Amino acid sequence: MNRFARISGTGSCLPPLRLTNADMAARLAERGIETSDEWIVERTGIHARHFVADGVFASDLGAEAARQAMQAAGVAPADIDLIIVATSTPDMVFPSTAAIVQHKLGIAGCPVFDVQAVCSGFVYALTVADAMIRTGSANKALVIGAEVFSRLLDFNDRTTCVLFGDGAGAVVLEASDTPGILATDLHADGKHVGILCVPGHVSGGAVLGDPLLKMDGQAVFKLAVGVLEDAARAVLTKAGKQESDVDWLIPHQANIRIMQSTARKLKLPMDKVVVTVNEHGNTSAASIPLALDHAVRAGQVKKGDTLLLEGVGGGFTWGAVLLDF
């Protein structure tokens, strides 16, 4: 009998503090830096983002998203036998945020680890969980994307600080005799490390180098639109499907213009694209599961729909997952 991995529940969590573009403009004005709602909306499609309060960590958001996903799946914490957290903003240098989430959920014993692939992190984590389930290493996995990017932002750099937000999304991925995940495709090219990075590191009790986010937005934009099309075509080919078989494209939520360009290349109308970047900004590894959960709870994505998930981010990393929901 064939063994597949299938999403059985989704969940998400946004911190309560919501900042509109006008709020960001007021914050930056205090530093003598100019920005506007008009500029941010026109260039990115972002209207608002959520930021965590002091003392709230990626594990707090991830654990809450996981609780919701387990409730939606009708699965108890004791049934979970694998936890993978995709994050670039871990609570600690080590241990993994997944270990902290595991403890917060009252689970013990199962393997847990983080995946660090920046904004492609959730697609990477889902691919790893799919492989572990199909080979029998796990039966019921929590796959979580959780980020507190507000902690990495340079509020003196208007070209980056208006783009990102905090949040988490999670899915329960279960073994099933029907698919499920149909095809996956992952890539990276480390020669582009410098175009999107947080270059600092910890050494001898101090942070050395710059611990704030640096991005060459135009270089990222150009790379992103090319690789997203390639990854989408690769998973469709692997699964023997056409663009027209896709019910919903759920791309990484970084910039509405990247999403529109990807949809155009795949000949998908924008009403088949799940868009939450307007309300969440770019939440990195959390953006895809957050968008998925919002679309499920809004009644957009329904059981049986074919979903194309696509991530792209620092590294440079990119990838796609095609699945029947």
Ranges assigned E (strand) in 90-133: 112-115
Please confirm, yes or no, whether 282 is among the known catalytic residues.
Answer: yes
By CB under 6 A, name the one of 71, 156, 218, 237 that touches ligand ACO. 218
155 touches ligand ACO by CB under 6 A: no
Q: Is 20 helix (H, G, I), strand (E, B) or coil?
A: strand
Please confirm, yes or no, whether 197 is among the known catalytic residues.
Answer: no
102 touches ligand ACO by CB under 6 A: no
254 touches ligand ACO by CB under 6 A: yes
First to last CA, the chain: 20
Residues with Cβ within 8 Å of 45's Cβ and at least 6 positions away in sequence, in order, are 255, 256, 257, 259, 275, 277, 278
Q: Give the footprint of ligand ACO on residues 70-99 (CB under 6 A).
A: none
By CB under 6 A, name the one of 253, 262, 282, 283 that touches ligand ACO. 282
Considering the complex, state which of residue 138 and residue 196 has its C-beta at the smaller distance from ligand ACO: 196
237 touches ligand ACO by CB under 6 A: no
By CB under 6 A, name the one of 20, 139, 159, 278 that touches ligand ACO. 159
35 touches ligand ACO by CB under 6 A: yes
Considering the complex, state which of residue 126 and residue 172 has its C-beta at the smaller distance from ligand ACO: 126
CB 15 within 8 A of CB 168: no
The Cβ of residue 103 has, within 10 Å, a number of other Cβ atoms equal to 14
Considering the complex, state which of residue 97 and residue 284 has its C-beta at the smaller distance from ligand ACO: 284
196 touches ligand ACO by CB under 6 A: yes
Return the closest-CA partner of residue 247 out of 193, 177, 182.
Answer: 182
Considering the complex, state which of residue 39 and residue 113 has its C-beta at the smaller distance from ligand ACO: 39
Calculate the alpha carbon distances from 317 to 120, 148, 176, 276, 286 in Å.
6, 20, 29, 21, 15
- Give min distance, CB of 36 to ligand ACO, in A: 6
314 touches ligand ACO by CB under 6 A: yes
> 6 - beta bridge partners?
174
Q: Count residues binding ligand ACO (CB under 6 A).
A: 24
The tokens describing 206, both together, are 């101090």
Calculate the alpha carbon distances from 28 to 45, 124, 165, 186, 241 in Å.
19, 35, 16, 37, 47
By CB under 6 A, name the one of 284, 296, 319, 324 that touches ligand ACO. 284
* Catalytic, out of 50, 252, 280, 294: 252
119 touches ligand ACO by CB under 6 A: yes
184 touches ligand ACO by CB under 6 A: no
221 touches ligand ACO by CB under 6 A: yes
Side-chain half-sphere CA neighbours of 47 within 13 A: 4
21 touches ligand ACO by CB under 6 A: no
Length of the chain measured in residues: 325
Site of tokens 């941010």: 40
H or E stretch covering 292: helix 287-297
Active-site annotation, residues: 119, 252, 282
* Residue ranges in contact with ligand ACO by CB under 6 A: 35, 39-40, 43-44, 118-119, 158-159, 162, 196, 215, 217-218, 220-221, 224, 254-255, 258, 282, 284, 313-314
